[in-house]
Amino acid sequence: MNDRASSLFPLFMLLLLAALTFWLSRVIQGEAPRGPLRHDPDYWAEGVELRRFDINGTLQHTLAAEKLVHYPDDDTTIVTRPHVTYHRQPPVEISARMAYIGRDGYEVDLVDEVKVVRHGAKDGVPPTTLETRTLKIFPEEEKGRTDDPVVLTRGASVVRGTGLEIDNGTGITVLRGRVSGTLHRNRTRTP
Cα–Cα distance measured from residue 82 to residue 138, given in angstroms and rounded to the nearest whole number? 15
Would you say residue 189 has pLDDT above 60? no
Cα–Cα distance measured from residue 190 to residue 170, given in angstroms and rounded to the nearest whole number? 34
Would you say residue 30 has pLDDT above 70? no
The model's pLDDT over 134-173, given as tens digits with 9 standing for 90+, comes to 999 887 788 889 999 999 988 888 999 999 998 877 878 8
Would you say residue 191 has pLDDT above 60? no
Q: What is the mean pLDDT of residues 64-82?
A: 88
pLDDT given for residue 81 in this prediction: 94
Cα–Cα distance measured from residue 66 to residue 48, given in angstroms and rounded to the nearest whole number? 6
Under CATH, what is the fold of the domain 43-182? Answer: lipopolysaccharide transport protein A fold (2.60.450)
Which of the four pLDDT bands, split at 50, 70 and 90, describes residue 131?
A: very high
Cα dihedral 166, 175, 102, 41 sign: positive
The model's pLDDT over 105-119, given as tens digits with 9 standing for 90+, comes to 788 899 999 999 988
Residue percentage of the chain with pLDDT more than 70? 88
pLDDT given for residue 135 in this prediction: 93
Which of the four pLDDT bands, split at 50, 70 and 90, describes residue 96?
A: very high
Comparing 15-19, 75-79, 158-162, 186-190, the range with the smallest average pLDDT is 186-190
pLDDT given for residue 2 in this prediction: 66
Per DSSP, 30 falls in state -
Cα–Cα distance measured from residue 126 to residue 79, given in angstroms and rounded to the nearest whole number? 30
